[in-house]
Amino acid sequence: MNAVEIKNLTTVLNGIEVIKNINLTLEQGKFLGIVGPNGCGKTTLLRTIIGSATPLSGSVTVFGMTPKEAVKAHIFGYLPQNQNIINNFPARSMDVVLMGLYGQLGLFRWPTKKHKQKAYEMLDILGMSGLGNATFSKLSGGQKQRISIARALINNPKLLILDEPSTGIDMVGQTDFYQLLKELQNQIGLSIIMVSHDIGAITTFVDEIACINKTLYYHGNPFGALDRQVLEKLYGRKVSLVTHSDCCSQCDKNKHE
Amino acid sequence: MTAAANAIKINMNEYINAAKEALSMSFIQRALISGIMLGIFSGIISVFIVLRRISFLGSGISHAAFGGVAIGFVTGINPIFTALAYSILTAIGIEQISAKGKVSEDTAIGIFFASSMALGIVLIGLSTSYNVDLHGYLFGSILAITHSDMTATIAMSLILTTVIILITKELHFITFNEELAYSSGIRVRLIKFIFITSMAIAIVTGIKLVGVILVSALLVIPGATANLITNSLFKMIIASSFITLFSIISGISISYLFNLAPGGTIVLIMSACFAAAYFLRKRY
C-alpha cells in the first residue's frame, strides 16, 4: 500500500494558488525529501497532506484514507517548521513528549505510569534521557528538535512529516539528525516526508526527492535532482551546488596527493 | 517613641475590630464568597489566556459585554443574561472571522469591541429605564451582591472549573501548538469553543464584581504574574489562583476599611503583585 497518494492537487490560500496540479506517490517505508525555493508551496503541501489546509481540487490519500480520517487514526507524526513557543512556556521536555499521546488518550483520560515510561524510552532513543525534567523552552534548537521528534514518534505513527527540521541546528547536528531519521526508518519501517532547503545535504539520506516550485518539477532518485537542468528549472537561475556525503572526494584526492 | 507605638497599636486594634465587624455582615460575606469562587476559576482560565496570547480578546469581550448589558436595559430582560448571550456570540464571531485569515484577530477584536460599546451607548440613550445600575455594570458593585448572584457565581465557578480541569491537557497542547494538537487527533475546534464560552461566562460573572471596564484584569494579570514566577503548568495554575484570591480578599477588606472603590482596589492589588513579581524576577 502507498503511504501517500496525491492526485492533481491544487491548493489556494487567501486567493493565491500556492500549489498547482501536483501528482506524487510515496511507497510505504520510504524516505522522501521535498526541496524547492522559499514560498514555493512545500509547507502548504505538507499541511494539505495532514488536512490542515483544504485543497481546491484533486485528492490526497494517506494509507488509503482521507487526511482527516488519517488524523483520527493517529497515522501522523508531525514536526512543523516553526513551533513558535513563548519564552516562559510552562512545559518540561517530558510533558512535550507526552503531548504526542493526548490525541490517542482522548478526553478525560490522563497519561499513566506506563505512558510516562514510554516517554522516557523515547527520550532515551533520541539521546535526551537526562533532559526529561528540563524546561522545553530553555533548550537549544537541536535539543528541542530531538524532543519534538520523540513527541512525534511516541504514538507509533506510520508517517512522519518534518518541515525544515534542521533549522537552527549546526552542521554536525544536522548530519546526526538525518542519520537518526534513517535509522528510525530502517528499524521501524517508518515512512518519512521531510521538507528541506539543503538539497545537497539530504541527497545522501533520502530514498527519493521531489523538487517543487508551485508544481512538481522532478520526483525520483535523489541524485537525479542534482542535475543542472533540473535545478535551473526549479530555482529559475543557475545554481552552484555543494554536496555532502560520508566520503568526501576532495579530501580523498588530497590524501593521495 | 512609646506614644507613637501606642498610637499604632490602637490603630491596629481599631482595624482588627472593624475587620471582625465587617466579616459578621452578610453583604461582606456574600462579597467574599462570590469573590473567592470567581477568583478560583478566573485564576485558572487566566493561565491559558496569557499562554495563548489572547489577553486582548478578554478585554474585547468584556467591553463588548456592555452592548449586551444595554440590550438588557432596553428589552427589560436581566442584563446579565443578555450580556452572557452577547459575549458568547461576540467571542465566537471574533474566532470565526480571524480563523478565515482575511482579518487578523486583533483587528477583529478592535472592531467588535468598538461596535459593541457604540451599540451600548446608543441603546442606553434610547432606554427610558436609565438608573444607577448602569454605574454598577461599568465599575462593579461587589458589596451589593445579592444572595441569588452569589448562588449563581458559586454554581458557575464550580461547573466551569470542573470543565477546564477536565480539558486541561488538551488546552495545554493547543496552547503549545494548535496545528500539532490537530495533527495528533485533538478536537481543536471543540476545545477552543468550550474555552471561549467559559471565558465569556467568567467575564459576565466578573462584571458584577469589578465592572465591564476592569473585568479583563482578572483574566490577564494573575496568569501573567504566575508566568513570571513558575516553570510548570500546575504551579502556574496554583500561583495564578492564589494571586487572584489574595487580591480579591485583600481588595474587599481594604476597600471596606478605607472606603475605597472595591473593583479598582482589587485590580490595583493585582497590578502590585505583578510589579513585585516582575522586579523580583529581574533581580534573581
Q: What is the pLDDT of residues A230-246, one digit of tens each?
A: 777 777 666 666 555 55
Query: Span A159-177, mean pLDDT?
Result: 80
Q: What are phi and psi of A135, to 5 degrees?
A: -70, 125
Determine the Cα–Cα distance for residues A23 and A7; give it in Å rounded to an integer.
5
**Element holding A219 (H helix, E strand):** strand A215-220
Q: Say if residue A257's pLDDT is above 50.
A: no
Specify the pLDDT at position B33. Answer: 92
Cα distance between residue B214 and residue B269, in whole Å: 13
Rounded to the nearest angstrom, the minimum Cα separation between A124 and chain B is: 22
Q: What is the mean pLDDT of chain A?
A: 84
CA–CA separation, B196 vs B90, rounded Å?
A: 10
Smallest CA–CA separation between A50 and chain B, in Å?
A: 7
Query: What pLDDT does residue B70 have?
Result: 87
Please give the ipTM for the structure prediction.
Answer: 0.83
Is the backbone of residue A38 left (phi > 0), alpha (psi -120 to 50) or beta? beta
Least Cα separation, residue B259 to chain A (angstroms): 39
Average pLDDT over every residue of A26-45: 90
B162: contact with A, CB 8 A cutoff = no
Sorting pLDDT into bands at 50, 70 and 90, what band is A87?
confident
Contact A99 B173 (CB under 8 A): yes
Q: B225 to chain A: nearest residue by CA?
A: A88
> For B23-27, which contacts have Cβ atoms below 8 Å and span 24 or more sequence positions?
B27/B143, B27/B144, B27/B145
A90–B236 C-beta distance less than 8 A:
yes
- A-chain CB neighbours of B181 within 8 Å are 99, 102-103
- pTM of the model as a whole: 0.84
Pairwise CA distance, residues A64 & A102, whole Å: 24
The closest of B80, B44, B28, B49 to B212, measured between CA atoms, is: B80
- Please state the three-class secondary structure of chain B as a single string: CHHHHHHHHHHHHHHHHHHHHHHCCHHHHHHHHHHHHHHHHHHHHHHHHHHCCCHHHHHHHHHHHHHHHHHHHHHCCCHHHHHHHHHHHHHHHHHHHHHCCCCCHHHHHHHHHHHHHHHHHHHHHHCCCCCCHHHHHHHCCHHHCCHHHHHHHHHHHHHHHHHHHHCHHHHHHHHHCHHHHHHCCCCHHHHHHHHHHHHHHHHHHHHHHHHHHHHHHHHHHHHHHHHHHCCCHHHHHHHHHHHHHHHHHHHHHHHHHCCCCHHHHHHHHHHHHHHHHHHHHHHC
Which of residues A221 and B85 earns the better pLDDT score? B85
Closest Cα in chain A, distance from residue B270 (Å): 20
Q: Which residues of B touch A72 (CB under 8 A)?
A: 185
Say yes or no to pLDDT of A13 above 90. Answer: no
Q: What is the pLDDT of residues B19-30, one digit of tens each?
A: 777 778 888 889
Q: Do A135 and B173 touch (CB under 8 A)?
A: no
Sorting pLDDT into bands at 50, 70 and 90, what band is A248? very low
Least confident range of A130-144, A184-198, B88-102: B88-102
Angle between helices B26-51 and B233-257 (to 10 degrees): 150
Q: Is the CB of A72 less than 8 angstroms away from the CB of B230?
A: no
Grid cell for residue B89: 456570540
**Least confident stretch, A36-40, A159-163, B192-196:** A36-40
User: What single-letter amino acid sits at B15?
Assistant: Y
B232: nearest CB among A92, A96, A99: A92
Residues of A within an 8 Å Cβ radius of B: 13-14, 47, 50, 52, 71-72, 74, 76, 78, 80, 83-86, 88-92, 95-96, 99-100, 102-105, 107-108, 110, 135, 151, 155, 161
Q: In what order do the strands lie in the sheet with A76-79?
A: A76-79, A159-163, A191-195, A31-35, A208-213, A215-220
Kindly report the nearest CA distance between residue A254 and chain B, in angstroms: 47
Which ranges of chain B have pLDDT less than 70? 1-10, 128-133, 282-284
Contact criterion met (CB < 8 Å) for B185 and A52: no
Residue A115 DSSP label:
H
In A61-99, which positions are buried (b, 16+ CB within 10 angstroms) versus exposed (e)?
bbbeeebeebbeebbbbbbbeebebeebbbbbbbbbbbb
State the nearest Cα–Cα gap between B199 and chain A, in angstroms: 20
Answer whether B166 sits within 8 Å of A108, measured CB to CB: yes
Question: What is d(CA A23, CA A3) in angstroms, rounded to the nearest whole number?
Answer: 14
| CB-based contact A91 B232, cutoff 8 Å | yes
